Amino acid sequence: MTYYRLPEGRVAYFDVDDTLVEWKEPKDDMCSITVEMNGRKLKRKMICSHVQELKRQAEAGTKIIVWSAGGVAWAEACVKALKIGGYVDAILTKPDRYYDDKDVNDWFPKRRFFNE
């Protein structure tokens, strides 16, 4: 079996919903994008500061993983709509559990979120 392996180095995980795009449909067209999913077109608002940070991190050599509790297909559709595919190294479903000898608070980095 072959596994996908990210090269060694820094890694940043970016969530989709309410981090890269607002979950609610926008009231206006400012910063709106169209996400195509299962034959439907959904309007969402891009959260510009987080998309810019994703790009900045990628340009600095950080490996970028985009994930969503909505699944890989949703995350991939949003990456495509945001036109950030060239910055993203992997797309994952957000985990609903993890197995480790250490509590997540002992090793997971500090959460970052920018208010616009």
The CA-based angle 19-23-49, given to 5 degrees, is 30
Stated as kind and residue range, the H or E segment containing 93 is strand 90-93
pTM here is 0.86
pLDDT at 3: 85
Q: Which amino acid is at 19?
A: T
pLDDT at position 116 over 70:
no
Residue with the bigger pLDDT between 41 and 28: it is 41
